[in-house]
Amino acid sequence: MCGIIGYTGVKGAQEIMLDALEILEYRGYDSAGIAVCGEDSCVRIRKCAGRVKDLRLLCEKDGILGTCGIGHTRWATHGGVSDANAHPHRFGKVTVTHNGIVENYRDLVQRYRLEERLQSQTDSEVAAAVLDHFYSGDPLAAIRKTVLKLKGTFALSIMFEDIPGTIFAVRNVSPIVIARAQGGSMLASDVTVLGQYSKEYFVLPEFYVAVLKAGGVELYDMAGETAEPEWLTVNWDVDRSGKGGYPFYMEKEIMEQPQVIRETVLPRIQGGIPDLSGDGIPDSLLADCTRICVVACGTAMHAGLVGKALMQSLVRIHMDVELASEFMYTDVIVDEETLVIAISQSGETIDTLEAVKHAKKNGAKTLAIVNVRGASVARASDYVIYTNAGPEIAVASTKAYTTQLAVLYLLTGRMAYVRGSFGEEEAKAFARELMRVPEVMQKVLDRREEIHYIARSILNAQDVFMMGRGLDHAILLEGSLKLKEISYIHSEAYASGELKHGTIALITEDTPVVAVVTQDKVKSKEFSNIKEVQSRGAGVILFIKETFGLEKDAVWDSVFMLPAMEDGFMVMPASAALQLLAYYVSLDKGLDVDKPRNLAKVVTVE
Ligand code: AGP
């Protein structure tokens, strides 16, 4: 989850790394640090608890001149947030930054008698110590011996004190990408930052060692044989990664949704019908499976729930949605006839990655829906469909979610067509409605100040309940997660009919309720359930499909009329409205919307 950067070349390493770390902060932001090999060939470290801006201040007072360095922004796992636990860590001749978890660090501490010699409580310093133990002038041999000792996940960037101007990198699971840029060579934990500097990059293969020098990059396998990198092209517009005049990335990313959904959908409609052949998805994959199982976490898992509702009603295929983190431990049944769909914005979520590997071992076919090209989940899967959301920087996922939904609509439409649930005309009508999503969603975004006004009514709430049925419930699970993660208001989304089986005990005049009503077939039941909470004193904020109309005698705290689409597509405008609700609550509470406490954008620990 931590951000890693490294640069060696002809320019000042400190400035390049500080700029890059600011971009990488979304991966973790509780401490930051850099190590630079100075002109006298000594490696010096500056690091501190806090944000990159604090590190910048430190470097302004006491900077390090030099053209080779490694940097890190941390999301704490082992050891609290402190200056000492911030990376880089130096042990003897070795300086490292690390992303991942060394699971056997306690054994290593004992085995190499490190107890008295460590300066921090981190597993990362232990990795540096083991490297130093094995280092006697041959860096590749030391790295080789060290990785054989490490259990767990790691992306290590390494400098040896007596090899100035050179950075070594090795990884297992946790990603490292490498590019030629800025008059030298660069490495980073993800392409979002390298894309600012270079159009071409490669993903360091697991258990290969990259050697970065000012003049170029060499790649070696564990036997010490040279290897050729597989170069990839950055697939998104780097201009999209600025804030574009908005105060926070989250607002900008919410506002980008019509455009990125259009870019995700339009190339995949051919002859008026959803068509995934451009992504290399054979119709047989969709026609031959007997069931589908989604593996994903957080928001991506919520996208899966919407997919499940669509697939089951339109394709009539059995579909499960599994939390990727539970998948391996709950004896889920997958076999050769199961299509496992892994959904992940980053493509680096380790739980999702491990779930894909587990599914493949059990014979399932695997299809990834991923935003970041070349990411681990994409590479581990048999097939991949990329969402064209562009870089998503805010920790709270918005445009990645709705482009995941767009891909799930495309899959549903194509699957229904190839399995005969849709005839040609039905498939075309479905695609036409999907193509309307950007314009309908834009109508919600254009009225965002109405939602801003509504948000003020829950600013001081301790708890907010959300209720809806069917697809409305699936959307609210995501709306509730958004509110929790960026506003710190406790919130729960309930299937409306379920509240009375216990949770209604918590409803009082102090628990505002957000209700979404967009599904005609359950509309009247939803209104009855809403009356149940109103009778207990709760004020209700209603998001309702505009064509449904309101009962004359009903009293609402606020109402937002959602522009109409067919019921199955109302997820899209409703999601945008709920994202805006969470955003404005967080904004008006004066919180750091893009970097909520305790979170990181990419979750690479189990
Ligand atoms: C969403 O707002 C979250 N920050 C989080 O739930 C996220 O969706 C989850 O960690 C999965 O990430 P992924 O899509 O990169 O796999």
**235-287 tens-digit pLDDT:** 766 666 678 899 999 999 999 999 999 999 999 999 999 999 999 999 999 99
Cβ 397 under 6 angstroms from ligand 1? yes
Whether 108 shows a pLDDT value over 80: the answer reads yes
d(CA 243, CA 247): 7
CB 230 within 8 A of CB 199: no
Contacts with 549 (C-beta within 8 Å, 6 or more apart), sequence order: none
Residue 228 pLDDT: 96
Cβ 298 under 6 angstroms from ligand 1? yes
Cβ 603 under 6 angstroms from ligand 1? yes
From 27, 249, 299, 305, the mutation candidate for ligand 1 (largest count of ligand atoms within 8 A of CB) is 299
Residue 240 pLDDT: 61
What average pLDDT score do residues 547-564 get? 90
Contacts with 342 (C-beta within 8 Å, 6 or more apart), sequence order: 294, 295, 296, 324, 352, 353, 355, 356, 359, 366, 367, 368, 369, 370, 377, 381
Cβ 387 under 6 angstroms from ligand 1? no
d(CA 3, CA 25): 7
List the Cα angle 332/338/344 in 5-degree steps: 75
pLDDT tier, 192 (very low <50, low <70, confident <90, very high otherwise): confident
Cβ 299 under 6 angstroms from ligand 1? yes
Residue 239 pLDDT: 62
pLDDT by residue (tens digit) across 350-401? 999 999 999 999 999 999 999 998 889 999 999 999 999 999 999 999 999 9
pLDDT tier, 289 (very low <50, low <70, confident <90, very high otherwise): very high
d(CA 112, CA 126): 9
- How far apart are the CA of 386 and the centre of ligand 1, in A? 16
What average pLDDT score do residues 131-153 get? 96
Name the residues annotated as catalytic.
2, 601
What average pLDDT score do residues 194-214 get? 93
Residue 481 pLDDT: 98
CB 279 within 8 A of CB 382: no
Cβ 395 under 6 angstroms from ligand 1? yes
Would you list the DSSP string of 190-239?
A: SHHHHTTT-SEEEEPPTT-EEEEETTEEEEE-TTS-B----EEE--S-GG
pLDDT by residue (tens digit) across 400-445? 999 999 999 999 999 999 999 999 999 999 999 999 999 999 999 9
CB 291 within 8 A of CB 333: no
Lowest mean pLDDT among 95-109, 229-243, 517-531, 556-570: 229-243
State residue 345 phi and psi, 5-degree precision: -60, -55
What average pLDDT score do residues 575-581 get? 98
- How far apart are the CA of 471 and the centre of ligand 1, in A? 20
From 173, 190, 322, 345, the mutation candidate for ligand 1 (largest count of ligand atoms within 8 A of CB) is 345
- How far apart are the CA of 250 and the centre of ligand 1, in A? 14
Cβ 143 under 6 angstroms from ligand 1? no
Q: Of ligand 1's atoms, which has the minimum distance to the CA of residue 397?
A: 2
Cβ 396 under 6 angstroms from ligand 1? yes
CB 17 within 8 A of CB 24: no
Q: What is the pTM of this model?
A: 0.89
From 253, 603, 606, the mutation candidate for ligand 1 (largest count of ligand atoms within 8 A of CB) is 603
pLDDT tier, 550 (very low <50, low <70, confident <90, very high otherwise): confident
Cα–Cα separations (whole angstroms), residue 52 to 87, 101, 245: 12, 22, 21
Residue 236 pLDDT: 67
The whole-angstrom distance between residue 97's C-alpha and the CA centroid of its chain comes to 22
Residue 569 pLDDT: 98
Q: Which amino acid, 506?
A: L
Q: Return the SS3 of 444.
A: helix
Whether 333 shows a pLDDT value over 90: the answer reads no
Q: Of ligand 1's atoms, which has the minimum distance to the CA of residue 603?
A: 10
Residue 244 pLDDT: 84
Residue 318 pLDDT: 95
H or E element, residue 185: strand 184-188
List the Cα angle 283/288/290 in 5-degree steps: 135
- The token pair at 265 is 């959908």
Residue identifier of the C-alpha nearest atom 4 of ligand 1: 396
Residue 75 pLDDT: 86
Cβ 352 under 6 angstroms from ligand 1? yes
pLDDT, averaged across the chain: 94
